[in-house]
């Protein structure tokens, strides 16, 4: 009887022989052997892998160069992260400024339906969390300060 799905286990975190942890840009060699129902995978660092040790029991061998995935956030995603950071802080005017930006970018939905204690409410449609931010007046001088700071924060690349 053949099985439909044949799954080779994921790569180990370290070399089978020398136990060295694999890190970014390491060349890792892998082999598979054993029964179809229970494939045995082995992973080796470049120094420990020995091609001559490959015998007919081994289905095959291959290698990969480990690359750490770099997640590049868009400016809007960064603005949302900034909002969630600032949300725990005390700079209400700046928080409100970021919220207005996110509302314009349709990342937050304003909820005028909720009326409470001089606050503006914004919903994060992804998490459905609603944030009530105290209403604040931002004077023009501060506004240009915020703009400079904000765009520097969301546009800088990692
Ligand atoms: Zn090794």
Query: Taking Cα atoms as reference points, which of 84, 86, 77 lies closest to residue 146?
Result: 86
The domain tally of the chain equals 2
Name the residue range of residue 104's domain. 75-155
User: 65 CA distance to ligand 1 centroid (A)?
Assistant: 15
User: 66 CA distance to ligand 1 centroid (A)?
Assistant: 15
Percent of the chain with pLDDT strictly greater than 90: 70
Query: Helix, strand, or coil here: 152?
Result: helix
- Based on the fold, state whether residues 60 and 83 are members of the same structural domain: no
State the pLDDT confidence band at 157, using cuts at 50, 70 and 90.
low
- Based on the fold, state whether residues 61 and 82 are members of the same structural domain: no
- Based on the fold, state whether residues 107 and 126 are members of the same structural domain: yes
User: 151 CA distance to ligand 1 centroid (A)?
Assistant: 46
User: 17 CA distance to ligand 1 centroid (A)?
Assistant: 5
Residues 6 or more apart in contact with residue 92 via CB below 8 angstroms: 133, 134, 136
Q: How many residues does the chain have?
A: 158
- Based on the fold, state whether residues 65 and 115 are members of the same structural domain: no
- Based on the fold, state whether residues 83 and 134 are members of the same structural domain: yes
User: 21 CA distance to ligand 1 centroid (A)?
Assistant: 9
Question: What does pTM read for this prediction?
Answer: 0.57
Query: Helix, strand, or coil here: 97?
Result: helix
CB 148 within 8 A of CB 142: no
- Based on the fold, state whether residues 64 and 48 are members of the same structural domain: yes
User: 124 CA distance to ligand 1 centroid (A)?
Assistant: 47
Q: How far apart are alpha carbons 113 and 123 in whole angstroms?
A: 11
Kindly report, residue by residue over 101-118, the tens digit of the pLDDT.
Answer: 999 999 999 999 999 989
- Based on the fold, state whether residues 89 and 36 are members of the same structural domain: no
The dihedral formed by the CA atoms of 133, 153, 72 and 82, expressed in degrees to the nearest 10: -20
User: 41 CA distance to ligand 1 centroid (A)?
Assistant: 15
Helix/strand number for the chain, H first, E second = 3, 6
């Amino acid at each position: 009887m053949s099985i439909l799905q044949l799954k080779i286990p994921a790569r180990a975190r370290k070399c089978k022989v020398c136990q060295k942890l694999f890190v970014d840009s390491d060349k890792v060699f892998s082999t598979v052997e054993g029964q179809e129902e229970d494939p045995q995978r082995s992973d080796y660092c470049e120094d420990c892998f020995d091609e001559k040790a490959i015998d007919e029991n081994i289905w095959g061998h291959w290698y990969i160069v480990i690359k750490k995935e770099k997640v590049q956030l868009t400016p809007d995603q960064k603005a949302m992260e900034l909002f969630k950071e600032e949300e725990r802080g005390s700079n209400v005017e700046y928080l409100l400024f970021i919220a207005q930006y996110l509302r314009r970018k349709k990342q937050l939905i304003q909820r005028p339906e909720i009326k409470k204690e001089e606050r503006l409410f914004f919903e994060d449609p992804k998490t459905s969390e609603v944030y009530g931010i105290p209403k604040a007046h931002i004077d023009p001088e501060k506004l240009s300060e915020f703009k400079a700071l904000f765009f520097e924060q969301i546009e800088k690349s990692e």
